[in-house]
Amino acid sequence: MEKPLTLKALSEKKENFSSGHRACAGCGEPIAVRQILLSAKNPVVIGSATGCLEVTTTIFPFTAWRVPFIHSAFENVAATISGVEASYKALKKKGKVSADIDFIAFGGDGGTYDIGLQSLSGALERGHKMLYVCINNEAYMNTGIQRSGATPRGAHTTTAPAGKAVPGKLQRRKNLTEIVVAHNTPYVAQAVVGNWRDLAKKVEYALSVDGPSFINILSPCPLGWGFPSDDTTEMGALAVDTGVWPLYEVKEGRYHITYKPKEMKPLTDWLKAQTRFKHLFKDENKYIIDELKILVIKEWNELIKKDEGATI
């Protein structure tokens, strides 16, 4: 029987993501990446789309990566890593490579929900053995906090500013996790910065799958969301406990909720903790809060119906 994952075991592993990167104080992305690399058992090759992660970790002539790293354009990291994986398979078939190697692509929500969706869709359809990780901070943070397909309804961004004309972003966020499930992807999951054990176990399983896998990680952003930089992991936990970001996985089409809050916290706890939603508490905008409450309950109830029992 496999030993349970422990912090001690992770702490004893070689660090493949170094300190000294240029991410903002409190950024959730380095936390997620470090935990992902520690959870990988085999050597890895990393691809990263343009975005916060790439910009803050590879400022020439420095790098925070202690593994092979490929910087791709905003829109094509899935294509890049699928090509590397295909080359690896060919070399292994010819006997020129013998080591077992895993392939991980990182993209932000802008480079995944929007600009890179076609590249991701193609890689999933072709069935490459790779893990695609969307580090989702719910906007184009690197270029000035513009709204993306992952930005929640009502959030203030620089391209959907809250004011007299509009109360923040008008549209609901895209449900990318379910879009990936619809590709018949062998393994799909949602995780969060703030629950290391859940994330690590999902990464372990995702890398063991014989085919593509996908993890959508909610990564709180102090700058873009508007909260103190020392509250990042607490913000992640609050997203889960209010039902905003359920933790679940889909193995070969079978749904499993991996964490169920004992009691759901009020959605307003989540909204009040971020300045990007402060305008929603004005009388003229409170109808949006009511809409969001209905949506969260609806999506949670739909997930409960699909759940076949937690596995983590």
Average pLDDT over residues 51-80: 96
20-33 confidence digits (pLDDT tens): 999 999 999 999 99
- Return d(Cα 169, Cα 166) in angstroms, integer: 8
- SS3 call for 162: strand
Domains and CATH numbers, the chain: 7-306 (3.40.50.970)
User: Do the strands 102-108 and 131-136 form a parallel or antiparallel pair, or are they unpaired?
Assistant: parallel
| pLDDT the model gives residue 124 | 98
Q: Please, where are the H alpha helices in the chain?
A: 7-11, 28-39, 52-57, 77-93, 109, 117-126, 176-181, 196-208, 232-241, 267-272, 286-306
**Band (164; pLDDT cuts 50, 70, 90):** very high
Least confident range of 6-10, 65-69, 168-172, 272-276: 6-10
Instruction: Tally Cβ neighbours within 10 Å of residue 65.
Output: 17
Specify the length of the chain in residues: 312
| pLDDT the model gives residue 4 | 66
Q: Which residues are within 8 A (CB) of 122 and not within 5 positions of it... i.e. 6 or more apart?
A: 78, 79, 82
| pLDDT the model gives residue 11 | 81
- SS3 call for 200: helix
- SS3 call for 240: helix
Average pLDDT over residues 86-101: 97
- Cα distances (Å, whole numbers) of residue 219 to 163, 186, 187, 231, 283: 26, 24, 20, 12, 30
- Return d(Cα 72, Cα 237) in angstroms, integer: 31
Average pLDDT over residues 130-157: 98
Q: Is the pLDDT of residue 312 over 70?
A: no
Q: Is the pLDDT of residue 1 over 90?
A: no
187-228 confidence digits (pLDDT tens): 999 999 999 999 999 999 999 999 999 999 999 999 999 999
Q: What burial class does residue 19 get, using C-beta atoms within 10 Å of its C-beta: 0-12 exposed, 13-18 middle, 19+ buried?
A: exposed
| pLDDT the model gives residue 154 | 98
Q: Are 239 and 227 in contact (CB under 8 A)?
A: no
Q: Which residues are within 8 A (CB) of 172 and not within 5 positions of it... i.e. 6 or more apart?
A: 152, 153, 295
> What percent of the chain shows pLDDT beyond 90?
93
- Return d(Cα 107, Cα 123) in angstroms, integer: 14
| pLDDT the model gives residue 7 | 81
Q: How far apart are the first and last CA of the chain?
A: 15
229-271 confidence digits (pLDDT tens): 999 999 999 999 999 999 999 999 999 999 999 999 999 999 9
Q: Are 46 and 80 in contact (CB under 8 A)?
A: no
Report pTM. Answer: 0.96
| pLDDT the model gives residue 10 | 82
Query: What's the mean pLDDT when you consider all of the chain?
Result: 96
| pLDDT the model gives residue 6 | 82
241-260 residues labelled b (16+ CB within 10 A) or e (exposed): bbbbbbbbbbbeeebbbbbe
